[in-house]
Structure 1
């Protein structure tokens, strides 16, 4: 099925759901142990088998618009340095000096052709190779070829940059990201303007991600922000491997009844919205005002996460008024996620830690959550002989 046909089919189903007051549903409810959100051993397994062994998103392409641009990011226990090389390619490496393990680059972002460690002055090219050792005659012999910044796999497509934190893991990025990265690539993010970033803090990474996977909570958690635009508890799900395409009908979706069904795909944000969810930790919401890419980074404990909200727009602002409009939307969306979703998440964290109930339950209407948790369990089983979960 082509992307256009998939979209058309999803929109037709959303229209039908609105007319009949139904939603896309799983076959049954699903119980997940409360310990899945609190147990340190489970959390460490998730870090080792999911976050370190599979492709993870680390930067938007437009954060590094020119050769020499760089970005640093702390991802779990890995301090990352992401750079744009002279040939336009990207490099992802560990931001750790081979001399005494100092973080070489301490700024969050910038533009440089070389980096110098602030501890002892060793210098590196922006591809991570060792350029010079300070006072080499006094230090002793150093093999420059073996003392650069440790390299990680890098992959750039659809305006997004990915790596694998365990550099020894062999991963086929094209196969893993599959149809979802092709879906994203058609949007042309690499040509969009990078507006900025906001950072917020929340509960266990799965509690945070659960909130992006359903609209059952819209009416009660977002009565003044989301619900006026979007129906609560009406959703349509599709998947590309472990990744989810989630459709939400807007309250204006009825107007699409006057549109040829083969053209439904042209009307994203004009009757319906999609959330694109990259397993295990990224949510992309494309809106006409601004696009938000949420990146959930677990830790430093099972009860915590750091979420970076990246914002992009198809066009750079042409004046101060447009710039201020972007700033206002970034603040508004940050507040919605932080003060409504993540506020709830922190309360949920206290709830699961209380051991009041042995399990949490996902309803038939929370089909995306069920699929996500089945994929987490599949990854933790670490058995290639098991069949992949189905939506």
Structure 2
């Protein structure tokens, strides 16, 4: 069971009531805002300062680094990073650039090494970033090796993930970032017991916020996912536990009808609802009966630092077992196809169209309704991180 018995009972009570009455959780008021938040280059630049280089990012799952010497390379918002498992079991996050002339040090996605050797001039570094050797040192000249160690980023391993702050001069406290309620919820999930079954990186022609909001949105299922998801769920129906900047939501499956006669909480809800989780600023994951679908979404400026209408999304599928049997593999392949069809073929085109509208100068303000509870939490968190004090004009 994903939840504690107490939380399972709370959600069961609320979902049973919604199913019987055809209702959903709602916010106290609507939220108007301007589409320019998806297209304004100055906003994107401020996001880099206040969000992507300041806050902890769920960069790597711990199962990707099981042994000493294991490493993975990961693209953060603007930095390529080596994440390496140390001899004492800790992890370090190192900028993937040689301190001699800046060449990319490691091009492999993952592996196990004692040394990272630059392909340009052969400088070598230990897994903790220490410069170990300079090729032809006798002719290179005097060099303080401590000053030429790899640039290290603040990093912390918690709840089965390696969290990284992209600013090397920043600090990291994942528990404080999550707050006591979300921190306790992630502890209940025991994500450290999961394994990455498959991961993929996608690039989309839409702002990162549009992509994230689409994954959080339960209002659109009737219209966008008619052939893939709609038949399995009660529509426009959601219960939320709001933790300020983070949340968990529950959406009932049609199968919940089988347990409506029971006292709430008698059965675990894992097979009768899906649970969406927002870990602000840029991660969301959905709890399914057999797996967890985890998204982390970044800006994607590429060669153009002012580019706002693109994003890069990392999808990980987490499973409780490291190795799946034939039936388990078949189930996961089916779920991967469903997720791909729903997100890539259905959600993404709509999100791309929102970006088209955001690029127009006269599209006018837009609106979050009372029933868009998960998206409202995201906008609240985004405004807090961006230090925006006033609500948008109504």
* TM-score normalised over the length of structure 1: 0.92
Deviation at residue 3 of structure 1 after TM alignment: 5.0
Contact 1:200-1:338 at 8 Å conserved across structures:
no
Unaligned runs of 5+ residues in structure 1 are none
Aligned residue for 1:170, secondary structure, equals: coil
* TM-score normalised over the length of structure 2: 0.91
Deviation at residue 328 of structure 1 after TM alignment: 4.0
Aligned residue for 2:257, secondary structure, equals: helix
Contact 1:58-1:73 at 8 Å conserved across structures:
yes
Deviation at residue 365 of structure 1 after TM alignment: 0.5
- Which residues of 2 match residues 9-28 of structure 1 at below 5 A? 9-28=10-29
1:355 aligns with one of 356, 361, 365 = 361
Deviation at residue 375 of structure 1 after TM alignment: 1.9
Aligned residue for 1:303, secondary structure, equals: coil
Deviation at residue 35 of structure 1 after TM alignment: 0.5
- Which residues of 2 match residues 1-391 of structure 1 at below 5 A? 4-178=5-179, 179-202=181-204, 203-263=206-266, 266-268=268-270, 270-300=271-301, 301-320=307-326, 322-381=328-387
Inter-CA distance 206–91: structure 2 relative to 1 (3 Å threshold):
same
Aligned residue for 2:230, secondary structure, equals: coil
Cα distance in 2 for partners of 1:198, 1:260 equals: 41
Cα distance in 2 for partners of 1:287, 1:81 equals: 31
Cα distance in 2 for partners of 1:89, 1:341 equals: 38
Where does residue 304 of structure 2 map in the other structure?
none
Deviation at residue 267 of structure 1 after TM alignment: 2.1
Cα distance in 2 for partners of 1:144, 1:114 equals: 15
Cα distance in 2 for partners of 1:271, 1:343 equals: 29
Contact 2:275-2:288 at 8 Å conserved across structures:
no
Cα distance in 2 for partners of 1:9, 1:186 equals: 15
Output one character per residue of 1:280-303: Cα deviation in whole Å (capped at 9) or x when no partner.
111111212332111111121210
Cα distance in 2 for partners of 1:259, 1:139 equals: 77
Cα distance in 2 for partners of 1:193, 1:50 equals: 28
Output one character per residue of 1:337-381: Cα deviation in whole Å (capped at 9) or x when no partner.
111111211111112212342211111111221221122122212
Deviation at residue 327 of structure 1 after TM alignment: 3.6
Contact 1:214-1:233 at 8 Å conserved across structures:
no
Deviation at residue 320 of structure 1 after TM alignment: 4.7
Say how many residue pairs are matched: 382
Could you say what the CA RMSD is over the residues aligned between the two structures, in angstroms? Answer: 2.1
Aligned residue for 2:15, secondary structure, equals: helix
Cα distance in 2 for partners of 1:252, 1:230 equals: 8
Contact 1:289-1:329 at 8 Å conserved across structures:
no
Cα distance in 2 for partners of 1:48, 1:11 equals: 41
Contact 1:159-1:185 at 8 Å conserved across structures:
no
Aligned residue for 1:333, secondary structure, equals: helix
Inter-CA distance 372–319: structure 2 relative to 1 (3 Å threshold):
closer
Contact 1:198-1:334 at 8 Å conserved across structures:
no
Cα distance in 2 for partners of 1:77, 1:22 equals: 43
Deviation at residue 81 of structure 1 after TM alignment: 1.0
Cα distance in 1 for partners of 2:243, 2:142 equals: 51
Unaligned runs of 5+ residues in structure 2 are 302-306
Cα distance in 2 for partners of 1:230, 1:200 equals: 27
Aligned residue for 1:176, secondary structure, equals: helix
Aligned residue for 2:92, secondary structure, equals: strand
